[in-house]
Structure 1
């Protein structure tokens, strides 16, 4: 197969150059070569979403058409690789998410950020639209089945970072945006996929709300100072319509899950931005909330970063009304994950990717190697898997080895190799992270840098 290496002229923006450049087509490849051995316990899909502009151009990395890349594993074999665009109504037209008046069209977006499963549906997500359902049964092609609005009940966008409660099977999420209140709405779907809660959350303005926290008894919203800009929204050049505000402030809003229409209790924090939370849990019989996330000191206009994110902890004492915040580590990182079966619970381990991407990310240029870090959140130690120079991992999803939450398992991620201009699927033993990969599945082409994904076992 011929290479699709991008030899970009200097005029090409960074988010369309190198491994950020889109691939031009959809392929299905079988009989994949493997170094090592794919664990026989892994039968299912590894899926990862990311921007891949259909017209080979976009105004911002965040705004390209969604493309889902999937590896099918079955009983110790790497059966196939395929990549498919998520065909939203704007796939061919490239129309803007925002209308001339700045309002949002719920079906007029690029489902390019995440791919999750709930109640038997596989959903491609972006925070500015409805979710889009994909075919994901064994033998299917990851085709787009259409927008999913929970039987006509969902009337806002859906975050790209919903969270499934391991106790109840409920899916918690939110939608944000628009020119008029409510700027933020909290939603909940039960284990069967029925939307059961939709309630406005009172915030003073339209801010970019990318993620949130969930614990066993609480939902915690982040109201942070990346504020919607009408000027940017109607700019023909496109891009992200958000600017940093030095006056908006920053706060966390706590809602009890057993009173979903009750009052939200707000706690001020130091201004910052958090794209991605790691996890959250409760202590002292639910009277204290512990929240973990990758914190940026601020964003630049257009949702750009000028310094890397590092791991922080916020602790809310609901009895005294106090809040403490502290930096836990100085290693740059992003795309934090835990064993999803411990979402909202006291997970011992969390993982984050540290990838020096000179095109977009302000990491230390003297460290040419990327890494995946494993945080022992109780013992305050860190184990790392370091990649050879030129090899760039993405987000690492956890695939469990058995039915014990927090037990053994593997970290799975796509890794781009600049020397070959191709990508591999790399499987690491989470408990022996510094060791060589358990398996490396070699792909015949490049998987562009992207966002989020999941291991979706057949069962």
Structure 2
């Protein structure tokens, strides 16, 4: 397929998913939340602007006690804890078990795919392509002030909801943003890989503009920029879905200006989901998931597939260098969505900790396979060598590795991951890896609770590396609703410090972050 025909193909094949039952506030156990809720229903196009206020005794909305069940679709990413929601909700007076730490003043926000409309054929829906939706909980003064969820305002979402287009400039052949959300330069941003510009959100999660921070969106961006904790700069490796011969190293200043771009030549259009940095290097992952014109011609829902003939290599780009300065290290074919952290060694070698999948998109065309067995490994890129040295840290299936980001690009001790299984057979624990003692502790959830990514938040700016909290959303399979959990990072075996019961589902999704009040522009 010629690139000029790519946009019509994507329009015809963009999948959408069915709406959920109309009772998101029911616990499934005959109990109702003591919360004040405002809902925007998105059931029909002519109802897209209709909103209703719901009180605790409004039987028209809360009368039926049903569990959240998605109809069988033949696609796991449209069912159960992955099933999308069909409304935007604002809730206050949230039910809290335990105590929310007084030190937490800010917003926990996470994003994921939540398609607005049902696909004609659910078997052709790919998890990575759904319309973006953010879910957030605002904390202050030891209280959970509110929960909100909002669709990210892409052109197609705004049109289908009957809303005005979100202003600003985007780029690329699509503008769906669904993969990560974070604070930078005093604002909140959502972003995705493969071309589109980020979307700025206000303090209440409404999309306010498209843009590459405070620069023109002349270069593709990524879902995973990484902030240097010393300079405040963001570092990213980016690519465009239809430019198959080039990656880009993009640096964004602490004030939001793109101040460095390096073009990196590659072959076959590799899917580079993430990167890592050290104090001196930017790490480039050129691994064998590549763009496939054959998948496009077959009208596959996702045009990337496993391609071991591409080879696998890891590059070290000096932060102030150019593409010709990259040193490449070979590695056996595998795939890495997410590094955890990296740092320089005194002898010039580099340590890179990663979650490694044995293969990816080899058979499945709807999302990650269940049999890739993602393990946590330490990769060393030796100063005098040309091949990655691999060392196993943990063989348990896991994903979403996160460090204490104050230690990013530096030697660190603790890494946090989530036990993971796409088929939902496992996935009950948040894991804490002590990289000095090589021991692992865990917080294990009940069988009906499925955690997504958890992130570390320090108690204070000068706190010890594990002195703080881990936080994230959890899907309750019994109630069909979401929960927000705050764990003591120094003692994962202890009960949660706080659990906030949410009056809406929070589907298993992608990435989130803690955004302190200073990056929210004063909004509550």
TM-score by length of 2: 0.79
Partner of 2:96: 34
- 1 CA distance for matches of 2:107 and 2:173? 26
- Counterparts of 1:401-412 in structure 2, within 5 Å, are 401-404=459-462, 406-412=465-471
Check whether the contact 2:282–2:317 (CA below 8 A) recurs between aligned residues.
yes
1:251 matched to 2:272? The reply is no
Supply the distance in 2 between the matched residues of 1:121 and 1:106 (Cα, whole angstroms).
23
Which secondary structure does the structure 2 equivalent of 1:90 belong to? helix
Matched, 1:378 2:399: no
Instruction: Compute the displacement of 1:127 (Å).
Output: 0.6
Give the alignment partner of residue 435 of structure 1, picking from 484, 488, 494.
Answer: 494
Aligned to 2:184: 118
Does the C-alpha gap of structure 1 residues 46 and 372 become closer, same or farther in structure 2, counting only changes over 3 Å?
same
Once the two structures are superposed, the pairs formed by residues 50-449 of structure 1 within 5 Å of their partners are 50-57=112-119, 59-92=125-158, 106=172, 108-128=174-194, 129-136=196-203, 141-180=204-243, 182-233=245-296, 235-236=298-299, 238-260=300-322, 262-284=324-346, 287-299=348-360, 300-301=362-363, 302=365, 304-305=368-369, 306-321=371-386, 323-358=388-423, 365=425, 370-404=428-462, 406-449=465-508
SS in 1 for 2:155: coil
Q: CA deviation at 1:60?
A: 0.8
Is the partner of 2:397 in helix, strand or coil?
A: coil
Q: Does 1:2 align with 2:2?
A: no
State the distance in 2 between where 1:171 and 1:46 align: 20
In structure 2, the CA distance between the partners of 1:35 and 1:151, relative to structure 1 (3 Å rule), is closer
Give the distance between the partners of 2:173 and 2:210, measured in 1 at CA. Answer: 7
Moved more, 5-14 or 306-315: 5-14
Range with greater deviation from structure 2 (68-77 or 299-308):
299-308
Which structure has more helix as a fraction of its residues? 2
Deviation at 1:307, TM superposition (A): 2.2
Given that residues 106 and 156 in structure 1 are in contact (C-alpha distance below 8 angstroms), is that contact kept between their aligned partners in structure 2? no
SS where residue 274 of structure 1 aligns? coil
Q: CA deviation at 1:150?
A: 4.2
- Over the residues paired in the alignment, what is the CA RMSD in angstroms? 2.1
Cα distance in 1 between the residues matched to 2:248 and 2:127 = 26
CA-to-aligned-CA distance 1:277-330 (integer Å, 9 cap, x gap): 111111115x01000110011112546323220101110122444531122211
Q: 1:293 to 1:235 in 2, by over 3 A?
A: same
Q: CA deviation at 1:357?
A: 4.5
Say whether the 8 Å CA contact 1:107–1:130 is kept in structure 2.
no
What is the aligned partner in structure 2 of residue 101 from structure 1?
none
CA displacement at 1:380 relative to structure 2 = 0.3
CA distance in 2, matches of 1:296, 1:272: 6
The alpha-carbon distance between structure 1 residues 147 and 377, as it changes in their structure 2 partners (threshold 3 A), is same
CA deviation string 1:115-167 (max 9, x = no partner):
0111112111111311111012xxxx211012112445432321101000011
Q: For 2:71 and 2:187, how far apart are their aligned partners in 1?
A: 42
Separation in 1, partners of 2:70, 2:414: 40
Distance, in Å, in 1 between the alignment partners of 2:297 and 2:208 is 31
Query: Looking at CA atoms only, which structure, 1 or 2, has the larger radius of gyration?
Result: 2
Give the distance between the partners of 2:117 and 2:236, measured in 1 at CA: 31
Q: Which runs of 5+ in 1 are unaligned?
A: 95-103
- Secondary structure of 1:184's aligned partner: strand
Query: Given the superposition, is the C-alpha separation of residues 294 and 108 from structure 1 closer, same or farther in structure 2, using an over 3 Å criterion?
Result: same
Q: What is the distance in 2 between the residues matched to 1:254 and 1:369?
A: 33
CA gap of 1:243–1:163, structure 2 versus 1, over 3 A, is same
Residue 336 of structure 2 aligns to a residue whose secondary structure is strand
| Count of matched residue positions in the alignment of Structure 1 and Structure 2 | 437
Structure 1 contact 114–453 (Cα < 8 Å) conserved: yes
CA distance in 2, matches of 1:183, 1:173: 14
**Cα deviation code 1:143-198 (max 9, x no counterpart):** 10121124454323211010000111110012213444542111001111111111
Question: What's the TM-score, normalizing by structure 1?
Answer: 0.90
Q: Distance in 2 between matches of 1:322 and 1:353?
A: 29
**Which shows bigger deviation, 398-407 or 158-167?**
398-407
Q: 1:343–1:131: structure 2 CA closer, same or farther, 3 Å change rule?
A: same
Q: Distance in 2 between matches of 1:255 and 1:327?
A: 25
**How far is the alpha carbon of 1:212 from its aligned partner?**
1.0
| Comparing 386-395 and 403-412, the one that deviates more | 403-412
